[in-house]
Amino acid sequence: MEIILPITVFVAWFSILLAPLGELTIEDIKAGVPEDQRRGVSILPGFPVCPLFFWGLSYVIDAFFPPWGSLSILVGHIILFIIAAYVIIRDILIIKRIGSE
């Protein structure tokens, strides 16, 4: 659990922060915006501040109620990662479909 928790939290937050990029790209493609003028997303300050906060929160909860802090933060971030991965994959498929039209 020592290494799985921080990796999961950081990967989940990275994917959560990148998920809106697909929607912005789809909107820009439909609006006819040239590639060099399309919008993007910034991962700062959400990354690395939020992952570090939740990682620390898990240790604080574990100090009083072991292992509930690590388990709850881990499960919550696995769920968030699954949702973000779904959104990213869905947007990639839409972008490919628009590009083939």
Domain ranges of the chain: 4-32+55-100
Shortest CA distance to 89 belongs to which of 14, 23, 10, 7? Answer: 23
Q: How many CB atoms lie within 10 A of CB 76?
A: 15
The pLDDT value recorded for residue 100 is 80
The pLDDT value recorded for residue 69 is 94
The pLDDT value recorded for residue 2 is 82
Cα–Cα distance, 47 to 67 (Å, whole number) = 25
Mean pLDDT by 10 residues, the chain (101 residues): 90 92 92 89 84 94 94 96 96 90 73
pTM: 0.87
